[in-house]
């Protein structure tokens, strides 16, 4: 029995086209095959066939619809190859090698942009329900990229490109308390209900929009309620697996900007030379670990001395073995540092230290000296006041050690995990400061946060170049 062909009515003029994902490249192998490359991954097609080769070359440069793909291949290899062509496209989409564009006539509505790769990088379909209100996810973020806005969330492996201003406006309307349903979204975007439903389905799959009930759960129920969008974003970007974005030592700025030198100093500023501590027997490592404590109270009648401060800084931050490796300087410090880049710097804010005036200093770990940066002024009082309050102190600490990061040194080499690595290095340094203080009988206390704005004002450092990233109190321990 032959069934009559019934024409499919497409009142909305919706279409879907594809192209090679924006961060991938297509090249030819020595054997004549094709190689798809993306970051640290590649897909080799040894013998793609003439028609499919032409299709892949077209996908690398242009948006191609399913109909256009069929026409291209059939003109070259005949209609018998159309099925194999569709299977190829389906597999490339399933494994996240292609971006997809949804258009209404000649009006592009949105683009689906995979961030992962392989089948694990694709998000499952999610369908909207008529009459259901949808809201912008608490974790969604918008950014400008390549001439249009892009929406994404760390809970998804797919970003959404928004080339159409009215669709973008409809998405922003979903941020309102009541959200919007498909009909309201269609009205705001200036499209019909069918097109609006398709757009909503893609936004739901990318988790950029969620139902009103799910939006309430994002703020009220664990585990999502416990995460801030900022923390989850940094965590997700710095951990590969769910995404296939460049990560690690990619050297993406090599040839564009020179790598900053390792040795940081303040030329022309007054400095205080510090004596190198002598090697002497000390407590065992096990005893030091057992003695490690947070001690907030200082003995202001007998403050820490310059010799003690100098020994502490030497044990923690003395820098040696400076050399050039892979186009930039690396060095060695008592604690490990990602790539030997030694991006962390120490700034003692001194209020009471026998042998040195109060003020902000920079510790030059190469020359083992203190460079005077600023006096104890109003900005210093704000910095000290925040630190004292954070530690529940009634008076300023004897020494506040502000840790900064010369971010350009790290991010010149590393991509995707730079700030996460800085925080890891801060943690290693903090533990070392605790152990050195315990071995020396000093009073150490790490702080959860510090006044970055006050420090930037006091030091004169650009917070985009060298921000403060950790804080540590140090002083003499109250005598028993």
Look up residue 405 and give its two tokens: 């990061």
299 burial class (0-12, 13-18, 19+ CB within 10 angstroms)? Answer: middle
- Tell me which fold the domain 248-476 belongs to: NADH Oxidase (3.40.109)
342, two tokens: 């030694």
**DSSP secondary structure, 293-331, as one string:** -----B-TTSPPBHHHHHHHHHHHH--EEEEEETTEEEE
- Statement: residue 193 has pLDDT above 50: yes
Average pLDDT along the chain: 94
Nearest CA among 445, 443, 436, 428 for reference residue 480 = 443
Q: How confident is the model at residue 264 (pLDDT cuts 50, 70, 90)?
A: very high
Antiparallel, parallel or unpaired: β 369-374 and 399-405: unpaired
For 196-225, the pLDDT digits (tens) are 999 999 999 999 999 999 999 999 999 999
- pTM of the prediction? 0.91
Give per-residue pLDDT as tens, 123-176.
999 999 999 999 999 999 999 999 999 999 999 999 999 999 999 999 999 998
Structure-model confidence comparison of residues 380 and 5, the more confident one: 380
Residue boundaries of the structural domains of the chain: 14-101, 106-228, 248-476
- Supply the pLDDT for residue 374: 98
The maximal CA–CA distance of the chain, rounded, in angstroms, is: 104
Q: 292 pLDDT exceeds 70?
A: yes
Tell me: pLDDT of 11 over 70: no
Question: 336 pLDDT exceeds 80?
Answer: yes
pLDDT computed for residue 479 by the predictor: 86
3-class SS of residue 221: coil
Chosen CATH of 14-101 out of 3.20.20.70, 3.40.50.150, 3.90.930.60, 1.10.20.140: 3.90.930.60
Contacts of 351 (CB under 8 A, 6+ apart): 358, 376, 384, 396, 397, 398, 399, 400
CA distance 398 to 444: 11
Contact 401, 361 (CB under 8 A): no
Rg (CA), the chain: 30
Residue 362: Cβ within 10 Å count: 24
> Residue 95 in contact with residue 16, Cβ under 8 Å?
no
* Rounded-to-integer distance, Cα 471 and Cα 385, Å: 13
CB 132 within 8 A of CB 211: yes
Mean pLDDT over 109-134 rounds to 94
């Amino acid at each position: 029995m032959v069934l009559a062909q019934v024409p499919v009515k497409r009142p909305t003029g919706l279409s879907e086209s594809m192209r090679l994902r924006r961060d991938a490249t297509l090249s030819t192998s020595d054997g004549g095959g094709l190689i798809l490359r993306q970051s640290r991954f590649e897909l080799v097609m040894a013998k793609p066939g003439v028609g499919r080769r032409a299709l892949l070359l077209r996908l690398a440069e242009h948006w191609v619809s399913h109909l256009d793909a069929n026409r291209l291949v059939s003109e070259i290899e005949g209609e018998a190859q159309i099925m194999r062509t569709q299977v190829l496209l389906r597999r490339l989409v399933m494994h996240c090698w292609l971006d997809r564009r949804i258009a209404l006539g000649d009006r592009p509505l949105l683009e689906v942009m995979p961030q992962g790769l392989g089948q694990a990088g694709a998000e499952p379909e999610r369908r909207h329900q008529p009459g259901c209100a949808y809201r912008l996810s608490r974790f969604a973020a918008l950014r400008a990229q390549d001439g249009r806005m892009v929406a994404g969330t760390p809970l998804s492996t797919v970003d959404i490109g928004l080339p159409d201003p009215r669709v973008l406006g409809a998405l922003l309307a979903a941020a309102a308390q009541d959200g919007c349903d498909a009909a309201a979204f269609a009205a705001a975007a200036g499209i019909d209900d069918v097109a609006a439903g398709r757009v909503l389905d893609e936004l739901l799959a990318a988790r950029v929009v969620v139902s009103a009930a799910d939006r309430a759960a994002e703020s009220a129920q664990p585990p999502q309620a416990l995460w801030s969008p900022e923390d989850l974003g940094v965590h997700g970007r710095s951990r590969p697996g769910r995404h296939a974005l460049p990560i690690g030592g990619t050297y993406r700025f090599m040839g564009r900007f020179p790598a900053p030198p390792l040795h940081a100093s303040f030329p022309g500023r007054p400095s205080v030379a510090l004596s190198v501590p002598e090697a002497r027997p000390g407590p065992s490592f096990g005893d030091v670990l057992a003695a490690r404590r947070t001690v907030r109270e200082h003995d202001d009648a007998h403050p820490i001395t310059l010799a003690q401060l100098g020994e502490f800084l030497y044990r923690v931050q003395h820098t040696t073995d400076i050399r050039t490796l892979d186009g930039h300087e690396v060095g060695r410090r008592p604690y490990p540092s990602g790539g030997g880049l030694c991006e962390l710097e120490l700034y003692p804010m001194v209020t009471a230290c026998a042998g040195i005036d109060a003020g902000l200093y920079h510790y030059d770990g190469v020359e083992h000296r203190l460079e005077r940066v600023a006096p104890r002024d109003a900005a210093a009082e704000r910095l000290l006041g925040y630190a004292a309050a954070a530690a529940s102190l009634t008076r300023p600490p004897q020494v506040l050690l502000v840790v900064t990061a010369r971010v350009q040194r790290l991010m010149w080499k590393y991509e995707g995990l730079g700030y996460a690595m800085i925080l890891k290095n801060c943690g290693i340094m903090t533990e070392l400061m605790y152990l050195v203080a315990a071995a020396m009988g000093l009073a150490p206390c790490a702080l959860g946060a510090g006044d970055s704005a006050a420090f930037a004002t006091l030091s004169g450092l650009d917070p985009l170049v060298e921000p403060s990233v950790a804080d540590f109190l140090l002083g003499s321990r109250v005598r028993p």
